[in-house]
Amino acid sequence: MKPIEVRIPHGLDKDEVRRRLDRAVVKARDEYADQVGEIEASWQGEDRLELQLAVMGMQIDSTLDILPAEILVSLELPALAGMFAGKIREGIAQRLGGLLAGPTV
């Protein structure tokens, strides 16, 4: 397993971050169901979201911790996916950065 951490800055309160993450999980389930299968998501306390999904038969477990000024994304990539760590890190930063940008809606 290859551990990856990505830090995404934000200027939102915790409730707004949770709301946006919940919306993103629903959207991801709709958009990527045929590529990743079921996406399991559960809140562990008020500021940690745990996600599990499988891509091309590889299980990926991750956590998203809501911190005051950033989200810390931690995931364990299977060895075969390790060669794509840079692209995965960039994709997470781009998607979550866009999700957390902008004012409270």
Query: Could you read off the pLDDT of 50-70 as tens digits, one per residue?
Result: 999 888 788 889 999 999 999
pLDDT band for position 105 (cuts 50, 70, 90): low
Cβ partners under 8 Å of residue 56, min gap 6: none
Q: Which residues contact 103 (CB under 8 A, 6 or more apart)?
A: none
Q: How confident is the model at residue 94 (pLDDT cuts 50, 70, 90)?
A: confident
Whether the per-residue pLDDT at 19 is higher than 70: the answer is yes
Radius of gyration of the chain (CA): 13
51 sits in which H/E element: strand 48-55
For the cut 70, the answer to whether the pLDDT of residue 21 exceeds it is: yes
pTM: predicted TM-score of the whole model, two decimal places: 0.85
Mean pLDDT, the chain, rounded, equals 88
Region 2-82: CATH code: 3.30.200
The residue extents of the domains of the chain are 2-82
